[in-house]
Structure 1
Amino acid sequence: MKIEKATQEDHQVLTEITKKSKAFWGYSAEQMTIWSDTLTISEEYIETHFVYKLIQENQVIGYYSYYFENEKTIKLDNLFLLPEFIGKGIGNQLMTDFSHRIKEIPTIEKVLLDADPNAEKFYQKFGFTTIGQLETATKNRFLPIMERNL
């Protein structure tokens, strides 16, 4: 497996991974349709964010993306795997790569993310703590807001 910078040509495969990964958690088809635009990775998104794809045997199986909130804070915006790779330790490889990459940026003091509720425990394993909740457009649904100080 290797991790490399995504290109704009990857936008469709990254969108497919995002949608399949999100659906893995049992969200309804109706909910997935509502979220379709939010879960779409555009060519422009790849151009304006830091996006890294995970490749196994010439197939993109996952990715992560981030951006700078400010000079001291990075926002981990996405981390998704194809469903058949969830729960097999491969997400750990993405998080490890992300962690190594941002440690090379001397001004960064913390990382923020808005987690899917199903992924909160995953991020806790990497030292993230829940500091709040983000209300979503879906009634009575909140995303954990998490942070990790470096």
Structure 2
Amino acid sequence: MMNTKDIEELDIAYISSFATKIDTSWGYLFFNEDQPDYYDANHANISTYTGHYEEIIEEVVTFYQSKKLIPRFYLSHYEEHQDFVDALKQRGFGFEEFASPVQLWTKKVYVKQDPLVSIEKVTKENKQVAIDIECEIPELGGSIRKKAFEQEFQHSGYTHYLLKYNNIPCSTACVFEHERDARLESVATLKDFRGKGLIGQLIHSIQQEVEQKDIERLWVMPINEKVEKVYMKSGFETILTMMGGHAFFGGKSLEDVRKGL
């Protein structure tokens, strides 16, 4: 079973696959100047609250503004450090809390194969079709997925999948592998094809492939309770819910991004 440290280490490896990481005494600076609107790729990750808060905030603001990026923080284990949150607010940062359920695949679920469904890996030949689908999904960030997808496609840790219904491309997903763990990401279906159980078909196919690899654990972090229940139907179990904080010096809140606003 994964513990909090395992989850955080895999999360750092995941973010590092599409952003440059700089280690600091209090956490990490992540940045990707080619994708300025990709929040996960551009933020300061606070994990240990050491040092003077005002100096940390000034360091982060100066760093990101020098790169013409919006300064933002992702905070973990911040509940006992409300004074740091207060310092951020006094500096003019917006702040929001969010819950991040962590789910592991713990049981197999029988899924009857739909004869109208076909699933294939994304290659150079069908890559643009997969990109077009993901760019139509506001919850994935819309058009910012194009550059992100291209970068993931070049990374050896990713495998992307494309599902067709009645020969029409309509669903995607990808798996990021790190050591003996795998993370399910970018699971999406075009609006006109939802309600047909396609996500279940796609996840089941991925699970079958994962079983054939030297992967110990397959996990996912759903963005809300509704999505969490979808994964439960595919044999995922919520093992814990991690609280996070997002402080931002401009731009949208994560809640608005996840709602596609």
The equivalent of 1:111 in structure 2 is 218
| 1:51 Cα deviation from its structure 2 partner | 0.9
| Structure 1 unmatched ranges of 5 or more | 142-150
TM-score calculated relative to the size of structure 1: 0.70
> With CA pairs under 8 Å and 6+ residues apart, which has the higher RCO, 1 or 2?
2
Match of 1:55 among 164, 168, 174: 164
1:75 matches 2:183: yes
Percent same amino acid at aligned positions? 22
Considering only aligned residues, what root-mean-square deviation do their CA atoms show, in Å? 2.8
The equivalent of 1:21 in structure 2 is 137
Q: Decide whether aligned partners of structure 1 residues 135 and 12 sit closer, same or farther in structure 2, where only a CA change above 3 A counts.
A: farther
| Structure 2 unmatched ranges of 5 or more | 1-116, 256-261
| 1:9 Cα deviation from its structure 2 partner | 4.0
3-state secondary structure, aligned to 2:136: helix
Q: Decide whether aligned partners of structure 1 residues 140 and 55 sit closer, same or farther in structure 2, where only a CA change above 3 A counts.
A: closer
| 1:18 Cα deviation from its structure 2 partner | 1.9
Give me the whole-angstrom Cα distance separating, in 1, the residues matched to 2:208 and 2:221: 20
The equivalent of 1:2 in structure 2 is 118
Give me the whole-angstrom Cα distance separating, in 2, the residues matched to 1:88 and 1:134: 33
| 1:58 Cα deviation from its structure 2 partner | 3.4
| 1:130 Cα deviation from its structure 2 partner | 5.0
Query: Deviation string for 1:73-107 (max 9, x for gaps)?
Result: 101122111111222211110011011010111x3
* Structure 1 stretches of at least 4 aligned residues deviating more than 3 Å after TM superposition: 9-12, 41-44, 133-141
CA contact (8 A) 2:118 2:167 kept: no
CA contact (8 A) 1:64 1:78 kept: yes
1:12 matches 2:119: no
| 1:108 Cα deviation from its structure 2 partner | 1.7
The equivalent of 1:42 in structure 2 is 149
1:91 matches 2:190: no
Aligned amino acid, residue 88 of structure 1: K
Larger Rg: 2
Larger strand share, 1 or 2: 1
Q: Decide whether aligned partners of structure 1 residues 101 and 120 sit closer, same or farther in structure 2, where only a CA change above 3 A counts.
A: same
Paired residue total:
130
